[in-house]
Chains A and B, each alone.
Chain A
């Protein structure tokens, strides 16, 4: 299966036990990758079924109740099981110690525990699907979630347990980044992906406990009826929304920040240029993490919260645009006059910039109360967050997956097929979701299985787009799985990148590096260094040689 010639982490130990009890961050990362991809597939199937029902107005394939369950499961599975752990726990687990020049994460056992807790949480979620799938939407708003007869408790317990897995990963990464950097790697010589993972970890540790409290309160409310969210007993249903979004708004940055970290790596590597504004990109990650805690009320403009509160939250929301804009302009400035090549990871990087710009701008629009009152709960919101979550995070995840794929497996994927799949995904995504901006602006509400005839053309385009997306992902699944078994052997540094993970073999040996690596150059020193056939060359030396030859 793996490249048999050299010993590496894939073939160092054999047998199912060596995987199940492994403490190797690379193997745990791979197990996570397998788990999140399975969840992604499941969530994707739910999405295709939703779009299928919406192809025609009226009831076609599912009843209204089944439809409610489908969109709830699509949301809950994609958010809790896929997108939150996708980049930090799967890719991040694999690359973080490699990027730091470390042997492993700080707490390998905690790392494995986090994976098994994830599995237990996922089992709870799966059980809830069998035992009468939830129909509340992934947000579990009261009072409906305390009264519906579906299995709210097992799904919320699933999310509660998954929260612990997320916290463990966060704690682990913070300790790793503080304590295990290679000699010479000061804070401002770390790759930007590490900064992004650091900011993400802080949010995971600070915000996730609040989700735990919220979901526990919901369970207690359902079972015992303490009345904290029940106005008849002096409670307040809007309080649930405050609780919920205090976690869940920062959580959207748990999703997108590591994606931005990946983009920072990719844009420098494939432009072969020193990253523009390193410190500002690093600080803006922390800035986003901080501001993310101050804006949750913009989800609640129509909930009945006070006008004063809406004003404060709307005002604060606009601040998120600043660090995001800083990143975007720095990436563009990095590309400017770079020597850009368009391999699949770079294609995803460019797609990210297009899609996240649209997602971000529409987010600012929705942050304005006057517009939000009209757009709230329409497809405009659906389109907006798919542009940020899928157009942003998932696209960045795919870019990172292709970028590190040769490092993970020691095999190259088929570049031509990768570009074809990228085209399907990029076009399919826009066909699916850009139409939804129009649908929303025309007043199509979200979460309905039926609609007026006038919306049908746009709904049809959206559904056709979802099929294109499906085809794109099928092609990707084919060439990625094929490459694991039959792909050509990957060099150690196929992209000519300068960060530390490329200095070891592909796939890495069990302990990552032969000796403790020492930082000799910064991760983006493309102005002074280049990599030719896995060999690091100083550009001055090349120049001198050329001068002698002349």
Chain B
């Protein structure tokens, strides 16, 4: 019985697909346009924000995540959360290496070769 539920196809109007596709093109245009403006440190944040919106649109509409079983949404989001967790906790290391012991920040000279091949 439950299998019946999940197998029901969800048909979306073609216009919606074109709207989403159009939005994606517009956002691509904005990404290019924005690259000519310098926000300094915020460059990466702006670019990532636009990219996140685009990826969300693809996942939600093209990949039907919005209309599918909510479990899939949970699985999808949890994978993102775990990636975020990995990056955040690793950055507590990489962003703070020089806090107390300045030698830790650049432990090895750039030219140093530790791989004797």
A residues at B contact (CB < 8 Å): 143, 146-147, 206, 210, 225, 230-232, 234, 236, 238-239, 242, 246, 293-294, 296-297, 300, 304-309, 312-313
Query: With the chains together, A409 CA to B108 CA distance in Å?
Result: 60
Give every chain B residue within 8 A of A234 (Cβ-Cβ). Answer: 110
Establish whether residues A309 and B93, one from each chain, have CB atoms under 8 Å apart when the complex forms.
yes
Closest to B100 in A: A307
Establish whether residues A293 and B104, one from each chain, have CB atoms under 8 Å apart when the complex forms.
no
Give every chain A residue within 8 A of B114 (Cβ-Cβ). Answer: 143, 230-232
Establish whether residues B107 and A231, one from each chain, have CB atoms under 8 Å apart when the complex forms.
yes
Give every chain A residue within 8 A of B74 (Cβ-Cβ). Answer: none
Closest to A310 in B: B93
Establish whether residues A232 and B113, one from each chain, have CB atoms under 8 Å apart when the complex forms.
yes
B66 proximal to A (CB < 8 A): no
Give every chain B residue within 8 A of A307 (Cβ-Cβ). Answer: 96, 99-101
Interface of A is mostly: helix
Give every chain B residue within 8 A of A308 (Cβ-Cβ). Answer: 92-93, 96, 99
Given contacts A232-B110, A308-B99, A309-B96, contact A293 B115 (CB under 8 A): no
Give every chain B residue within 8 A of A230 (Cβ-Cβ). Answer: 114-115
Given contacts A231-B114, A307-B101, contact A294 B96 (CB under 8 A): no
Establish whether residues B115 and A232, one from each chain, have CB atoms under 8 Å apart when the complex forms.
yes
Establish whether residues B92 and A309, one from each chain, have CB atoms under 8 Å apart when the complex forms.
yes
Closest to B92 in A: A309
Give every chain A residue within 8 A of B99 (Cβ-Cβ). Answer: 306-308
Closest to B71 in A: A178
B residues at A contact (CB < 8 Å): 78-79, 82, 85-86, 89-90, 92-101, 104, 107-108, 110-117
Listed A/B pairs (12) with beta-carbon separation below 8 Å: A230-B115, A231-B108, A232-B115, A242-B86, A242-B90, A246-B86, A294-B85, A294-B89, A306-B97, A307-B100, A308-B99, A309-B93
Establish whether residues A231 and B92, one from each chain, have CB atoms under 8 Å apart when the complex forms.
no
Closest to B91 in A: A309
Of all A-B residue pairs in the complex, the 7 with the closest CB atoms, nearest first, are: A306-B96, A309-B93, A308-B96, A305-B93, A309-B92, A231-B108, A306-B97
Query: With the chains together, A498 CA to B56 CA distance in Å?
Result: 49
Query: With the chains together, A442 CA to B104 CA distance in Å?
Result: 29
Q: How far is the CB of A217 from chain B (nearest CB, A)?
A: 14
Give every chain B residue within 8 A of A305 (Cβ-Cβ). Answer: 93, 97
Query: With the chains together, A340 CA to B97 CA distance in Å?
Result: 55
Q: Of B93, B95, B110, which contacts A297 at CB under 8 A?
A: B93
Query: With the chains together, A225 CA to B101 CA distance in Å?
Result: 30
Q: How far is the CB of A154 from chain B (nearest CB, A)?
A: 20
Q: How far is the CB of A243 from chain B (nearest CB, A)?
A: 9
Q: How far is the CB of B105 from chain A (nearest CB, A)?
A: 9
Establish whether residues A312 and B82, one from each chain, have CB atoms under 8 Å apart when the complex forms.
no
Give every chain B residue within 8 A of A294 (Cβ-Cβ). Answer: 85, 89
Given contacts A231-B114, A232-B110, A232-B115, contact A210 B93 (CB under 8 A): no
Query: With the chains together, A146 CA to B114 CA distance in Å?
Result: 11
Query: With the chains together, A231 CA to B106 CA distance in Å?
Result: 10
Query: With the chains together, A210 CA to B89 CA distance in Å?
Result: 15
Query: With the chains together, A293 CA to B98 CA distance in Å?
Result: 25
Q: How far is the CB of B70 from chain A (nearest CB, A)?
A: 14
Establish whether residues B93 and A293, one from each chain, have CB atoms under 8 Å apart when the complex forms.
no
Closest to B98 in A: A306
Q: How far is the CB of B87 from chain A (nearest CB, A)?
A: 10
Q: How far is the CB of A71 from chain B (nearest CB, A)?
A: 24
Establish whether residues B107 and A297, one from each chain, have CB atoms under 8 Å apart when the complex forms.
no
Give every chain B residue within 8 A of A296 (Cβ-Cβ). Answer: 89
Inter-chain pairs besides A231-B108, A304-B104, A307-B100, 11 sampled, C-beta below 8 Å? A206-B82, A232-B112, A232-B113, A234-B110, A238-B93, A294-B89, A296-B89, A297-B92, A297-B93, A304-B97, A308-B96
Q: Of A143, A146, A306, which contacts B93 at CB under 8 A?
A: A306
Closest to B107 in A: A304
Q: Of A143, A238, A297, A304, which contacts B89 at CB under 8 A?
A: A297
Give every chain A residue within 8 A of B116 (Cβ-Cβ). Answer: 147
Query: With the chains together, A143 CA to B92 CA distance in Å?
Result: 22
Give every chain B residue within 8 A of A293 (Cβ-Cβ). Answer: 82, 85
Q: How far is the CB of B79 from chain A (nearest CB, A)?
A: 8
